[in-house]
Structure 1
Amino acid sequence: MKIKTMTATFGKLQGERLTLEPGLNVITAPNEGGKSTWCAFLKAMFYGIDTRDRDRKGHLADKNRYQPWSGAPMEGEITLEWQGRDITIRRGPRGNVPFGSFSAVYTGTEEPVPGLTADTCGQMLLGVGREVYERSAFIGQSGTLAIRSAPELEARIAALVSSGEEDVSYSQVERQLKEWLNRRKVNKSVGLIPQLEEEQAELARSTGELSQLNDQLNQLEGERAQASRKHAFCTRQLALHKAIAQRKLDLQYTQARTDEAQAQAQLDALLSEQARFGPIPSCDALKRAQGELAFLKALEPEIRQGQEELALAQQALERARQAAQDDHFPGMTGEEAVRKGERDSESYRSGMAKKAAGKRNFILLQAAGLLAGAALAIFGPFWWLGPIAYVLCAAASALVFANGTKSARQAAKILERYGVDDVEEIAALAGNYQQRMAAADQAAQQVRMIQGGLKDRQARLENSRQELFRFVHTFAPEVKELFGVSAALSRALNLGERETLARSKLEGAQRLTQALQAQGGKELTEEPPLSQPTLSLEQAAQETGRLQVELERLDRALNQARGKQQALGDPAILSARLEQVEEELERRRREYQAISIAMETLQQANAQLQQRFSPQLNRAAGALLSRLTGGKYHALSLDKELEASASGERDVLPHSALYLSKGTVDQIYLAVRLAVCDLCLPDAPLVLDEALAAFDDVRAKRALELLQELSAQRQILLFSCHHREKLFQS
């Protein structure tokens, strides 16, 4: 399968399009450039979004995390090649369900792809479910390449070296057998077998209890009659205490009604006094207005200080701009000046190098001409060619020497232009200019900051002054100055506080009256005097409560005894039930023994299966790890939980991944994932999000070379925020 294009409105991606090629695709982008969002989008297009997932502490559900930032509906489209034909997959909203709608058609025809639905999309296209894909060919934003064992992945790997059956895994069967064992017997007190043993013992005891129940019932009934008589006496004592308390409550209620009437009269008198002015705002509003008045008075010196600071900052800016002027770098920024200095320095060094090369070549060509001329003149039959050879070499050496001299003059002009004697001084001039420009920029930023703060204070002063006068004119329209504003606020606040105090007093009296009335208080009337109880309220309440508890205990004991007597009933029924329990107990014990034998057999079979597929996976992953680490680690082993250990040629024992560096651990699990992909997902695209982030440059280059080779068999998408992957690939 090959992915050709992806178009997404997903998270920060707003209708963006990503075009991919067969083989290795290295996609580089800075942080927050959308790399991890593209990975999440691809997985969501294959397997959909789990709408049942909910936000929790430290976790956002995908349906919320990848809601488009623009507020548009979440939707996307993928075009890919599958089984020799191009198909287009689309997902979009369905009501309030993100990615709820789905379609899969042959590209350009809108003809539906048979059997390809929202639920079967990832399974059909990739050949595995979400769980296996996430643990093999997909490395998302989690930041770890480690693989967690899962039943589906375990079954998938085991099927490669067995009959090919992928419906169940060892862990699933083991879990089911353990569940059956636990249902029968977890320990000495939990499970069907202990329950049956307990019922068996209980039935045996029940037969002996029947003869004791009649004596127990007679004793309980006598105790209850005596406790009932005592409880009635204490109840009458409590009623007498209640009548005395009611008389006291009525007296309090009558006094509260009198206090409420007085508070109402005080409030009415105060409201009459306030009627001479406008409506008084709330106390909080008046206090806020006083705060605004104080703020206005404090703003004026701040504005004057800001104006002085602005003048000083503008003077500093002018001095910095004059100091930054330089004829060597007219109109340039600091960075442009540094780059210009670097280019001129490089030109100078190049010219001087050409001069040195010209001198060497001049000497070599002169020597070559002399040797050639002498040899031809002395030993050759054509002696007259000797002078010609010397003349040609001499002309070439003169041309080379002239070019070197010209380059040296041009290099010298560069130093003259800067007025320096050494090329290293050019960089110092550019650096000094860059510092002066930075100082001028900083001074300009300071001016803008002070100007902004001054404008904010001036606007706040005017706005607050207008708002304050509008507020005060609602109850004191005659006020014209800030002094009058202060006096009007103080007067209104005093009247408001007095009104608030009077209302609070009235409300308190009303609440007390209502509370006493709710408790049953009423106007006091003349009633006959009440006699004094012989028991105190505490004694009567305590004894009544104790006797009530005793009566309830006796009632429960009587009901339990009668119920047990009725439940135990006929001894023949007890014997029949005991026989049934013994038969059921024997059957459950035989089942427990059979399941235990099945567990032992399953463990032996799994051990044999591990011996068959573990070496195959270990060899494949070990070979890949050797490639990634340059042979430092050549062997790799995995336990059934897919936790890895690695060893080198001189290592006596393998090293657990817990003892290795983060980069080496990532290389181990990248090798494991690649081996699992080769075994389980021969055609699925490999998605790597920042998978090489912890690799050093050497191992990253080896990993890129390995991925380049593997990309001949499958498409690989490598997302990275670094450019070294692109450089290594090229």
Structure 2
Amino acid sequence: MLIQRMSAAFGRLRNETLQLQDGLNIIEAPNETGKSTWCAFLTAMLYGINSRKRDKAGFIADKNRYAPWDGGSMSGRLECHADGADLTITRATRRQTAPMADFQAVYTGTASPVDGLTGTNCGETLLGVSREVFERSAFIRQSGLAITQDAGLERRVASLISSGDEDTSYTEAYDALKKQLNRRRFNKSGQLPALEAELAEVQQQLDSSVQLQQQLADALERSQALESDVQALSDELAQYDRWEAAQKRRQLAALTDAADTAAQRVHSLTQQLEEDRVPDTETIGRLRGAIVNLETVRKNVEKARTDRDEAMKALLRAEKNVNDSPFAGQTAESARKEAQGTSSDRVPGPIAFRELAIFFLFLAAAGGIFALLYSQLSVLSLPLFQLVPWALPALAAAVVAAAGTYISRQYRQHALKKLCNIALMKRFGTTDTNEITAFADAYTAAVEVRDAAQADLNTKSATADAYYNTLTTNEQAILLEVRRFAPAAFDIPTADQVLRQAAQRRKALSEAQTAAREAQVRLDLLVQQGIPDSCDMESTPPLRSRETVADALAQAQVQLAAARSATDRLTGQLHAMGDPDGLRASAESLQSQTGQLQEEYDALRLAMDTLAGANTVLQNRFSPQLSRRTTEIFHELTEGRYTAAALDRSFHLTARPAGDPIDRDIQLLSAGAADQLYLSARLAICELVLPPEKSIPIILDDALTNFDDERCATALRWLKQAAAHRQILLFTCHSREADFFARDPEVAVQRL
């Protein structure tokens, strides 16, 4: 058989696919990536999943262990080559109680089903061995390398040694004989001890016949006395029952009156509530809740009004700051422009005395120069001055006039600026341009604060008005609804009081209804207990209590039953005994049966001993061959470190190191050497037990984990040689196996 492709929705595998080739396949994957799950999936595809297994302590059934992690259903597809044809096998889950029970096998590429191949016999048909043989031979896990006995593996070994009949198992035959042997005698149980005990009992019956007659007479006399006592106590208890029945009749009458009274009260209260148009409990609760909510709205109104008053105060403070400014009444823009205008109109202060003195000295010097020039020009008798003798004096006069005009204008400007400065001091208290500009900036900020305060006041006033309107609207709505049944409720306190009274009246009705139901229930329970139609209403209670009479009656009945049982038992024993001749005939028959069973017991014991001897011969014929092949493989895997290995009939292993004459138990070997010995035995079993014509694939799940690098390399070379005859799948969590065959084209290496 050759596995070509597997696709699985199984455990952690979510519709994943694994492609395989002929020969040795190395599948490398880290821990928890699905190696063991792929191995379990292959087994499930071949042999199915046992849905009858249940979870136990320390064990999870496969149907739960490999349920898909994504919550879906188990399913899978297996493509393989078997018996000269390519097959496609699918398993699906139609019912959650039967995972992967929906089986189909067709020839690959067609829809033609494979005749005779079913979900039950798939593994045995394709591989030629049962599931137990496959799991104990070709399916090799790192956690399950040890070999265990199994009836299926035992039948397979027996078929190879003897007749080829795989239906024969020493263990099953031995167990069947032992079961028959134990049926006849097992310690003090079984058919033989039972017959022996019965025979002894018959012998005892013969001796006890007379004693039983006397015991029977005594038992009959005691039974008659106890019957009289039971009858008297029963009569006394019946009298108590009649008295209790009378009491129940009185109680029934009282409960009936109570139920009627409660029902009338409920009817009266209901009618009165309907006449007064009292609303139902839900409406009352809703209105009272609305009144409670009014308090919250009222608090919101008070808070909003407080916030509005605070905003009004803030606005007044802001307006005061604006009005206290020298720029009061102006806009911020005009205040800034006015402040800027005062800086541009400012002129220097009054003319200094030194400047005037220098000016008049200049005029005097000019006059002197003009006089000197005039006298000189006159002496020279220039034509100009002769024609205009008054020109120089006129020029001097003009200069003096211009100087006077300039001085007059300076004094007028000085006086005007002085008046402006006086006005600035009066208005701003300063003539400093920077301080006036600061006043203008402060005024602008005050105007902005005032405007913000006004906006805040408007917002909070609107909020207070909205809350007030809501309060008023809700109050009117509540009062309007309350006045439908209480016209005098014109304010909320009155409405609340009316609703409280209505709630109390509704509560009274509810309590009355509850009392009526309870009274009716008590009445119904009493009626269900059963009340005699007629009883003595004047009867008086017995002298003793019911408990005393009942206990005495119970004891008397137990004693009477015991006495009757003793009488019946003694009568039965006497009938069983019969006359002495019948008892002797019965004893002889029992002795004959005991002898026959003893002969069968001896024959079964002889058969078991003979079967054990035959099995020993078979094991001795097979064990050397298996031990020899195990030795050969183990010798190769350990590179000559061990020269011998042996298996006993229970598949227990021992090994002999080279140069050492003593075999060592496998438990004395290291973990790695023990795994190598187990693997050698498993591979030897595969060669000797599995049918060669089927070429059953060998599955190894982390089987080389405890091997060191050298022995791992040796094992890999051995597996490659073995893969020439059958497909081998080696799942590993290490990279050394894949690295070892990295450049070998004959080995398929893939990493998950």
With normalisation by structure 1, the TM-score equals 0.62
1:721 and 2:721 correspond? no
Q: 1:175 to 1:77 in 2, by over 3 A?
A: same
1 CA distance for matches of 2:534 and 2:653? 88
Correspondence for 1:679: 688
Measured against aligned partners, the alpha-carbon deviations of 1:368-395 in whole angstroms (never above 9, x if no partner) come to xxxxxxxxxxxxxxxxxxxxxxxxxxxx
Q: 1:49 to 1:246 in 2, by over 3 A?
A: same
SS in 1 for 2:703: coil
2 CA distance for matches of 1:81 and 1:117? 17
Letter in 1 for 2:130: G
SS in 2 for 1:620: helix
Correspondence for 1:119: 120
Within 5 Å, give how 1:82-121 maps onto structure 2. 82-92=82-92, 97-108=98-109, 113=114, 115-121=116-122
1 CA distance for matches of 2:668 and 2:257? 84
SS in 1 for 2:282: coil
Letter in 2 for 1:195: A
RMSD: 4.4
1:98 Cα deviation after fit? 4.2
SS in 2 for 1:201: helix
Deviates more, 1:649-658 or 1:579-588: 649-658
1:529 Cα deviation after fit? 4.4
**1 or 2 for the larger relative contact order (CA 8 Å, sep ≥6)?**
2
Q: 1:225 to 1:669 in 2, by over 3 A?
A: same
Q: 1:549 to 1:79 in 2, by over 3 A?
A: same
Correspondence for 1:224: 223
Native 8 Å contact 2:79 2:89 kept in 1: yes
Q: 1:618 to 1:522 in 2, by over 3 A?
A: same
Q: Of 514, 538, 544, which aligns to 1:528?
A: 538
2 CA distance for matches of 1:498 and 1:706? 96
Native 8 Å contact 2:246 2:536 kept in 1: no
Correspondence for 1:693: 705
Q: Which blocks of at least 5 consecutive residues in structure 2 are unaligned?
A: 290-473, 480-495, 743-752
Correspondence for 2:627: 618
1:709 Cα deviation after fit? 2.4
Measured against aligned partners, the alpha-carbon deviations of 1:614-672 in whole angstroms (never above 9, x if no partner) come to 23322322333344445555443333332334443466755544455544443332222
1:49 Cα deviation after fit? 2.7
Q: Of 586, 593, 600, which aligns to 2:595?
A: 586
Q: What is the count of residue pairs matched by the alignment?
A: 527
2 CA distance for matches of 1:143 and 1:554? 67
* Larger gyration radius, structure 1 or structure 2: 2
1 CA distance for matches of 2:283 and 2:642? 88
Within 5 Å, give how 1:178-193 maps onto structure 2. 178-188=178-188, 190-193=189-192
Deviates more, 1:597-606 or 1:129-138: 597-606
Q: Of 605, 608, 615, which aligns to 1:596?
A: 605
Letter in 1 for 2:124: Q
Native 8 Å contact 2:577 2:583 kept in 1: yes
1:687 Cα deviation after fit? 1.0
1:10 Cα deviation after fit? 3.9
2 CA distance for matches of 1:631 and 1:51? 47
Correspondence for 2:440: none
Correspondence for 1:667: 676
Q: Of 273, 278, 282, which aligns to 1:278?
A: 282
Deviates more, 1:40-49 or 1:84-93: 84-93
2 CA distance for matches of 1:20 and 1:724? 20
Correspondence for 2:563: 554
Letter in 2 for 1:173: A
Letter in 1 for 2:37: T
Correspondence for 2:194: 195
SS in 2 for 1:80: strand
Percent identity over paired residues: 40
Q: 1:260 to 1:669 in 2, by over 3 A?
A: farther
2 CA distance for matches of 1:264 and 1:559? 60
Native 8 Å contact 1:79 1:86 kept in 2: yes
Native 8 Å contact 2:104 2:113 kept in 1: yes
Letter in 2 for 1:611: N
SS in 2 for 1:149: coil
1 CA distance for matches of 2:140 and 2:569? 64
1:710 and 2:722 correspond? yes
Q: 1:663 to 1:519 in 2, by over 3 A?
A: farther
Q: 1:541 to 1:709 in 2, by over 3 A?
A: same
1:138 and 2:150 correspond? no
Correspondence for 1:45: 45
Native 8 Å contact 1:250 1:524 kept in 2: no
Measured against aligned partners, the alpha-carbon deviations of 1:68-88 in whole angstroms (never above 9, x if no partner) come to 566766444333233444333
1:717 Cα deviation after fit? 0.8
1:715 Cα deviation after fit? 0.8
SS in 2 for 1:278: helix
Letter in 2 for 1:196: L
Native 8 Å contact 1:138 1:686 kept in 2: yes
1 CA distance for matches of 2:250 and 2:551? 27
Native 8 Å contact 1:263 1:502 kept in 2: yes
SS in 2 for 1:22: coil
Within 5 Å, give how 1:181-260 maps onto structure 2. 181-188=181-188, 190-246=189-245
SS in 1 for 2:79: strand
Q: 1:158 to 1:499 in 2, by over 3 A?
A: farther
SS in 2 for 1:719: strand
Measured against aligned partners, the alpha-carbon deviations of 1:126-177 in whole angstroms (never above 9, x if no partner) come to 221111001111135x932222210121232244344444322221222112
1:607 and 2:616 correspond? yes
2 CA distance for matches of 1:547 and 1:674? 78
1:584 Cα deviation after fit? 2.0
SS in 1 for 2:705: coil
1:224 Cα deviation after fit? 1.7
With normalisation by structure 2, the TM-score equals 0.60
1 CA distance for matches of 2:554 and 2:715? 81
Q: Of 641, 654, 657, which aligns to 2:650?
A: 641
2 CA distance for matches of 1:592 and 1:178? 10
1:674 Cα deviation after fit? 1.2
Letter in 1 for 2:122: C
1 CA distance for matches of 2:534 and 2:576? 58
Letter in 2 for 1:25: N
Measured against aligned partners, the alpha-carbon deviations of 1:195-218 in whole angstroms (never above 9, x if no partner) come to 222222233333444445544433
Q: Which blocks of at least 5 consecutive residues in structure 1 are unaligned?
A: 287-472, 479-486
Measured against aligned partners, the alpha-carbon deviations of 1:236-294 in whole angstroms (never above 9, x if no partner) come to 22233444445555666666667777888998979969946536899xxx9xxxxxxxx
Native 8 Å contact 2:242 2:536 kept in 1: no
SS in 1 for 2:608: helix
2 CA distance for matches of 1:145 and 1:504? 75
